[in-house]
Amino acid sequence: EVQLEQSGAEVKKPGESLKISCKGSGYSFTNDWIGWVRQMPGKGLEWMGIIYLGDSETRYSPSFQGQVTMSADKSLRTAYLQWSSLKATDTAIYYCVRHRLFCTRVVCRLDYCDSWGPGTLVTVSS
């Protein structure tokens, strides 16, 4: 069974740095695209971007480009999401997700998220 385990809740002050993690178990993981989804308090889901565990290739949503950094350690089957300087508006639940791909003979495209981690609550407050 595919499982994504996320690191625990964090309470930080504005300006501090943070790195949260997402570890895969129950399957290969190393050839998958792992995405991050933000959900601010009482708000909807926002797709932040993805990282390919095979070579750490990343792609960010324009809304999050430059605001966060995604990384991965294939040997640890773990993806990371980090901030260098948190803001109060970063307060949210962050989900990691496994993306499936839709492939034809010539191209592969991102498809649905079939597995979700339990989420990491990040609270940024002075």
Partner 1 sequence: QSALTQPASVSGSPGQSITISCTGTSSDVGAYNLVSWYQQHPGKVPKLIIYEANKRPSGVSNRFSGSKSGNTASLTISGLQAEDEADYYCCSYAGSRTLVFGGGTKLTVL
Residue 118 as a binder of partner 1 (CB under 8 A): the answer is yes
Q: Which is nearer to partner 1, 15 or 108 (CB)?
A: 108
State which amino acid sits at residue 86. Answer: L
Nearest CA among 91, 38, 97 for reference residue 63: 38
Q: At its nearest, how many Å lie between partner 1 and the CB of residue 60?
A: 8
Nearest CA among 67, 53, 66, 64 for reference residue 4: 53
The rounded distance, in Å, linking the Cα atoms of 88 and 122 is 10
Q: Which is nearer to partner 1, 18 or 97 (CB)?
A: 97
Q: Which is nearer to partner 1, 9 or 13 (CB)?
A: 9
Residue 71 as a binder of partner 1 (CB under 8 A): the answer is no
The residues near 28 (Cβ < 8 Å, ≥ 6 apart) are none
Residue 27 as a binder of partner 1 (CB under 8 A): the answer is no
Residue 35 as a binder of partner 1 (CB under 8 A): the answer is yes
Residue 50 as a binder of partner 1 (CB under 8 A): the answer is yes
Mapped to the 3 state alphabet, what secondary structure does 70-109 carry? EEEEHHHCEEEEEECCCCHHHCEEEEEEEEEEEECCCCEE
Write out the residues near partner 1 by the rule CB under 8 A: 35, 37, 44-47, 49-50, 59, 61-63, 95, 99-100, 102, 109-114, 116-119
